[in-house]
Amino acid sequence: MSTLHTVNKSPFEKTSLAACLDHLSAGAAVLLLEDGVYAALTQTSAEGQVKAALDSVKVYALGPDLQARGLSEERVIPGISVVDYAGFVDLAAEHDKVQAWL
């Protein structure tokens, strides 16, 4: 069973990301969207936990949400793939289910 986990809350405000990363199984992927994209930035206090997760799972960030917030792709942690809405749909289709961390 492969699951796409989505996180739409800022890692600096809510524990949604930390909770998500603590509950990943093999084959899981994480998509950061809305305020969740702040977790994709380098040199933040949340960078360590995201980098650690990249060792075992794929992590994605939604491009339009990065752009809306004035965050360029150069600021995104290497290893995180930036996807558009079509990529989001593909990810949802590739996995058996989608689990949202609100």
Partner 1 sequence: MSETIKNFLYLNRRAPYGTIYAWESLEVVLIGAAFDQDVSLAFVDDGVFQLTKGQDTAGVGMKNFSPTYAALGDYEVKKIYIEKESLEERGLSLDDLQHLTWEDEDDDYAEKDSIHLVTRAEMAAIMDGADVVFSF
Binding site for partner 1 (CB under 8 A): 8-10, 12-13, 34-35, 38, 41-45, 47, 63-65, 67-72, 75, 84
Residue 17 to residue 53: CA distance in whole angstroms: 11
Q: 28 vs 66, which CB is nearer to partner 1? A: 66
Closest CB 36 distance from partner 1, rounded Å: 8
> Which residues partner with 76 through β-bridges?
41
Nearest to 40 by CA among 26, 25, 51, 52: 51
* Side-chain half-sphere CA neighbours of 24 within 13 A: 26
Give the residue with the Cβ less far from partner 1, 47 or 57: 47
Kindly tell me which of 28 and 32 has the beta carbon lying closer to partner 1. Answer: 32
